[in-house]
Amino acid sequence: MENTQIQGEIPPTFFSLFQLQTVNLRGNKINGTLNIASNYSSQLKLIDLQNNSIDSYTFSTCSFGRLMHNPVCYEEGSEDYCGISQTNFGYSTPQDNCLKTQCSSDQIFSPTCKCAYPYTGDLFFRAPSFSDLTNTSIYESLQKSMLSSFSQNQVPVDSVSLSNPKKNSEYYLVLHLQVFPFGQDHFNRTGIATIGFALSNQTYKPPPNFGPFFF
């Protein structure tokens, strides 16, 4: 519920709602004290309240609040919840067990050990429900989901590589994407257009825990 003119204080009991995982209320008029009591939901992974009017923050063990561009951060800008993060977690889709060959200067070695010219770009996930970015199974599920979607839409894709997960200055999860062609070393115009449309127009739907995205 970004930019919806919500105003006032958030009651502490709100954060203890059963199965609450993500709170995304950026760009509203929430003010006063943000109080996250110790009995917040055990499934809560993200509280994103950037660009509001919060002037103080009370919490116990909560470490996933994001309060950039609130009055509280003008005075306490060094706190973690006020900081700008560009943390890179060093993941890259593993390659099959094979001998790595020398590709031509502008080709890239795929996860299935082929030299090709992949379709590349960055995926931006605005509010993923998970916080542990070192969990490789998260990226594996996204990779399998994308391969399945391309296959169902008869796009000639051999493999998908995900790498360099990081949180940018807006706290979005950013993943570098490489999509490798099947049976050839490059996509034709139809393949490029189909992949671009699926990602840019979001006809592809990632696993629910990744939330909304753009490419």
Q: Is the dihedral of CA 118, 119, 124, 128 positive or negative?
A: negative
186-211 pLDDT tens trace: 999 999 999 999 998 888 999 999 99
pLDDT at 207: 96
Q: Is the pTM of this model over 0.75?
A: no
**C-beta separation of 204 from 146 below 8 A:** yes
- Mean pLDDT, the chain, as a whole number? 86
Distance between CA atoms of residues 137 and 143, nearest Å? 10
**pLDDT above 90 (res 161):** yes
Q: Return the bridge partners of 166, or none.
A: 88, 174
pLDDT band with cut points at 50, 70 and 90 for residue 38? confident
What pLDDT sits at residue 178?
Answer: 96
Question: Is the sign of the CA dihedral 162, 166, 167, 168 positive or negative?
Answer: negative
What pLDDT sits at residue 171?
76
Residue 39 has pLDDT above 90, yes or no: no
123 neighbors 174 (Cβ within 8 angstroms) = yes
| Percent of the chain residues topping a pLDDT of 70 | 92
Contact 182/155 with Cβ under 8 angstroms? no
Percent of the chain with pLDDT over 90: 47
Separation of alpha carbons 112 and 174, rounded Å: 23
Q: Is the pLDDT of residue 30 over 90?
A: yes
Question: How many other CB atoms are found less than 10 A from the CB of residue 186?
Answer: 13
The DSSP string of 152-199 is HTT--EEEEEEEEEEE-TT--EEEEEEEEESSSSS--HHHHHHHHHHH
Output the furthest CA–CA distance in the chain (Å, rounded).
Answer: 61
- pLDDT tens digit sequence for 66-121: 888 888 887 655 567 776 544 556 789 988 887 767 888 789 999 999 999 999 99
pLDDT value for 97: 80
